[in-house]
Structure 1
Amino acid sequence: MKQLGSVMALGMVLALAACERSPETPSADAEAAVPIPAADTAPAAPATAAPGTATHGPARLDGYGPVALGSTLDEVRAAWKAPLQGDVADDYCHALRPEGAQAEDVIFMIEGKRLVRYDVRNDRIVAPGGGKVGMSLGQLQTLYPDRGDLTPHKYDEQGHNLRVRPATEGGALVNFEINGDGNVTAWRVGKTPQVDYVEGCS
């Protein structure tokens, strides 16, 4: 009986000791296996675009915003959603402008009832490849070193055009108008022959 009491007492001591034990520290291998929450990971640094590559924004070589070069007039109106000012009554060249846009904002050229070109005359919109109104000829030639052809300006004896050829056959061109001071005053994107219309639709 005395022996039974000793065994019971020993069992109680061991049980109490087990309750007071602190949790085991995980090994280094176990910690490595625990995934780090995504919120704790550092964001990747934004990639820097190489000179001459397309930049983020509405202007693209294949279109502008939601509209694509080559789209029919109905497709342009449906994609743009907001009203476009200008009437297209036949297959000749017509200009469409977003309602409420300023004179220097984007203008869509419609010919054969398709979008064939768009023009920009402000420094808020960046052209495909990084050029924009206000840049110097030297800056443009740095951005477009391989495919830019310098041609005379039709009306300004001191001015030029920098005509950026497409990287692939049949692609759109970018044409920058440069005044006598050597600065960009306007640019346009389109395919030939429309991109070379000097007076636009007039």
Structure 2
Amino acid sequence: MRNLNSSTKFVTLLIATIVLFAVWITSVNAQVQLTENSKLALNGIGPIRVGMTVDEASRAAGVRLIKSYEPLNEEFCSYFKPQGEPKGINLMVAKGRIVRVDISNERVTTIKGAKIGDTEEQIFSLYPGQIRVIKNPLGGPGNNLTFVPRDVADNNYRLIFQTRNDRRVKYFRSGQLPQVEYIEGCS
């Protein structure tokens, strides 16, 4: 009887350990997946960081990245996007490395919570004293609201919100200089 009780306790402990391990692995994998809940930072989105290769980013994000834009001069830069979901996330790649993240998905937010549809005033309040306003460089209505970080370690990065005539964010991007400031992407 004593051996049966001891064996039962061991099996119970073993099963509990396996279940806890499985839950832990699932939660770790859920944290590294690129989703609409991933937050845009100055230097990347979710598990994807500026400076990664496309293969590194694909592994980190848990989703295959496919070419989404074929520019005239691919040596200059190109764009990749997640195959399938999430939509509206495009990664600019130059010299084999991710340099910029463009967002056109209304559900994706920055770390501070800024998103498509926010007013210029909301952006100013989320980033007080750190927004530089530039009239639409293409001459149309709206502005480019550029977040300029104060931290010296981040001085090579920017976060840019593009607004139109209603002064609401239409899309936004982050990444390293100079690519983050390219007005027409890889064109």
TM-score by length of structure 2 reads 0.70
1:131 paired residue among 90, 111, 114: 114
Task: After superposing the two structures, state which structure 1 stretch, 86-95 or 158-167, moved more.
Answer: 86-95
What does residue 103 of structure 2 align with?
120
What does residue 160 of structure 2 align with?
175
What is the Cα deviation at residue 91 of structure 1? 4.0
Distance in 1 between the 2:85 and 2:137 partners?
27
Does 1:63 find its partner at 2:44?
yes
What is the Cα deviation at residue 128 of structure 1? 3.0
1:161 paired residue among 144, 168, 176: 144
Unaligned ranges ≥5, structure 1: 1-55
Whose strand fraction is larger, Structure 1's or Structure 2's?
2
Does 1:194 find its partner at 2:171?
no
What does residue 132 of structure 2 align with?
149
Aligned residues: 146
Structure 1 83/123 Cα, relative in aligned 2: closer, same or farther at 3 Å? same
SS at match of 2:116: coil
What does residue 34 of structure 2 align with?
none
4+ residue segments displaced more than 2 Å: 87-92, 154-158
Distance in 1 between the 2:107 and 2:139 partners?
24
Whose helix fraction is larger, Structure 1's or Structure 2's?
2
Does 1:99 find its partner at 2:101?
no
Distance in 1 between the 2:62 and 2:181 partners?
28
What does residue 49 of structure 1 align with?
none
Distance in 1 between the 2:92 and 2:45 partners?
12
Distance in 2 between the 1:124 and 1:186 partners?
11
Unaligned ranges ≥5, structure 2: 1-36
Structure 1 149/109 Cα, relative in aligned 2: closer, same or farther at 3 Å? same
Task: After superposing the two structures, state which structure 1 stretch, 93-102 or 137-146, moved more.
Answer: 93-102
TM-score by length of structure 1 reads 0.65
* Paired residue type of 2:77: C
Residues 90 and 112 in structure 1, CA contact (< 8 A), matched pair in contact too: no
Residues 53 and 98 in structure 2, CA contact (< 8 A), matched pair in contact too: yes
SS at match of 1:78: helix
Larger Rg, first or second structure (1 or 2): 1
* Paired residue type of 2:175: G
Question: What pairs up with 1:3-152 in 2 under 5 angstroms?
Answer: 57-86=38-67, 91-101=75-85, 105-152=88-135
* Paired residue type of 1:175: I
| Identical columns (%) | 30
